[in-house]
């Protein structure tokens, strides 16, 4: 073993560090995992390449599930790695036990809620699942969000007529207990069901916005009170909007015009105590708007999944094409592109119910998955990302 290591060390000395860095730029991230263990010089060149040249970018992960009980799913998911421009299959071992509809929230959280169990996962590759008792109030379609990797907020969606349909509970991951707090009844007049709301969360605050009106409230898990309402619709031409978090800042993506005539799709960054400071950071090119609409003349809604500076946008009714944009250091959208959804079959339809998450995936995450045996990876096909 020592002799082999010495030979590798000797060979690596022949190849200059800058040459290695250039080579590593063209190697998919999953194939770079073994390089970490070859030699110190290769390891230095590898991390220098990832830090200064072809940097890792947030992965889009698509989880599939049948739409009817018993909610079985393939023991794998597919992921798009934009750094490598590859679609990958992530094989789960053991497969996840699905107890109800699989759902996602604020791009990073996957969860399932049944009358007997609350299951959730928030690691980048979703290979680790946590099990908890269900909330004290039974809910069918609640708002769910994770804050500071410790608190999970569950609000609204109560089923039993005897319960407050807009009650709020918080699950503490450290104490493994549920606690109640201020009802969301003072927050939204119409509904606190997740299907009507867009949810976003940073390390300190949960945001919930009515997609149709733009009315938004924020929740502080420390004081356990809701603040607002805030009207984020500074442009009266916005008819549908969603929110997300980019670098701890709140951003909003809005559809302008009407569902039969989409004039623009724009992105704003919002700041200030009442989000009175807003800056337009990008407008989607017209040809990409048409790709989101597909064969339909209208576009009534969109969904987003984002982490860091990469944003994936899709039409939930026609998910064949994904729009991708990147935000640069000046907080402007610097690149727009489109990407074929790898889970769409030849007939142009998603073969199973799909749930999307987005996460920063590091070499350490890949190495941990492979070493633990919980995950293995294989290439599905090359991405066709068009800029």
pLDDT, one tens digit for every residue, the chain (387 residues): 455 554 445 454 556 667 888 889 999 999 999 888 888 888 888 888 899 889 999 999 998 877 666 666 556 789 999 999 999 999 887 667 777 888 998 788 999 998 889 999 999 999 999 999 999 888 878 889 998 888 999 987 766 544 555 678 999 999 999 998 866 544 554 455 567 889 999 888 999 999 999 999 898 888 888 888 999 988 999 999 999 999 889 999 999 999 999 999 999 999 988 888 889 999 999 999 999 987 777 899 999 999 999 999 999 887 788 999 999 989 999 999 999 888 765 444 555 678 899 999 999 999 999 988 888 898 887 666 555
- Please tell me the distance from the alpha carbon of residue 307 to that of residue 362, in angstroms, as a whole number: 13
Give rounded-to-5 percent helix, strand, coil for the chain: 15, 40, 40
For 320, left (φ over 0), alpha (ψ -120 to 50), or beta?
A: alpha
| Count of Cβ atoms closer than 10 Å to residue 238 Cβ | 20
| Count of Cβ atoms closer than 10 Å to residue 330 Cβ | 7
N- to C-terminal Cα separation, the chain: 46
Tell me the sheet residues that pair with 81.
86
| Count of Cβ atoms closer than 10 Å to residue 160 Cβ | 10
Return residue ranges of the chain for CATH 2.120.10.80: 57-379
Q: Using an 8 Å Cβ cutoff, are 163 and 137 in contact? A: yes
Nearest residue to 270 via CA among 237, 242, 289, 291? 242
The torsion angles phi and psi of 187, rounded to 5 degrees, stand at -95, -55
Residues 6+ apart with CB under 8 A from 240: 211, 212, 254, 255, 259, 300, 301, 302
Place of tokens 């799909």: 354
| 57-379 belongs to CATH 2.120.10.80 | yes
Nearest residue to 315 via CA among 330, 333, 302, 334? 302
Report pTM: 0.87
């Amino acid at each position: 073993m020592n002799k082999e290591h010495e030979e590798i060390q000797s060979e690596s000395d022949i190849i200059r560090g800058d040459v290695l860095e250039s080579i590593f730029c063209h190697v998919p991230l999953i194939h770079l995992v073994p390089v970490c263990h070859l030699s110190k010089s290769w390891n230095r060149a590898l991390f220098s390449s990832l830090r200064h040249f072809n940097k890792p970018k947030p992965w889009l992960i698509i989880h599939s599930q049948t739409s009817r009980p018993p909610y079985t799913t393939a023991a794998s998911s597919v992921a798009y790695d934009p750094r490598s421009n590859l679609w990958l299959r992530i094989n789960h071992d053991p497969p996840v036990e699905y107890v109800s509809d699989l759902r996602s929230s604020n791009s990073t959280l996957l969860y399932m809620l049944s009358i007997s169990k609350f299951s959730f996962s928030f690691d980048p590759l979703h290979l680790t699942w946590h099990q908890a008792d269900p909330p004290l109030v039974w809910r069918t379609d609640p708002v769910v969000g994770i804050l500071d990797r410790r608190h999970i907020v569950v609000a609204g969606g109560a089923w039993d007529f005897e319960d407050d349909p807009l009650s709020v509970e918080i699950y503490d991951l450290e104490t493994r207990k549920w606690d109640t707090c201020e009802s969301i009844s003072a927050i939204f007049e119409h509904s606190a069901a997740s299907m009507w709301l867009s949810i976003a969360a940073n390390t300190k605050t949960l945001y919930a916005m009515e997609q149709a009106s733009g009315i938004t409230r924020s929740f502080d898990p420390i004081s356990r009170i809701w603040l607002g309402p805030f009207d984020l619709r500074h442009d009266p031409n916005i008819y549908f909007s969603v929110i997300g978090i980019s670098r701890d800042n709140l951003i909003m993506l809005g559809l302008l015009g009407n569902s039969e005539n989409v004039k623009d799709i724009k992105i704003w960054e919002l700041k200030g105590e009442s989000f009175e400071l807003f800056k337009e950071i990008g407008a989607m090119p017209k040809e990409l708007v048409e790709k989101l609409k597909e064969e339909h003349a209208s576009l009534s809604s969109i969904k987003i999944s984002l982490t860091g500076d990469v944003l994936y946008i899709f039409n939930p009714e026609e998910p064949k094409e994904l729009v991708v944009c990147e935000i640069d250091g000046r907080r402007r959208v610097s690149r727009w592109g489109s990407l074929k959804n790898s889970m769409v079959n030849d007939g142009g339809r998603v073969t199973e119910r799909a749930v999307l998450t987005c996460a920063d995936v590091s070499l350490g995450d890949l190495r941990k998955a492979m070493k633990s045996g919980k995950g293995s990876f294989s290439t599905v096909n090359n991405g066709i990302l068009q800029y």
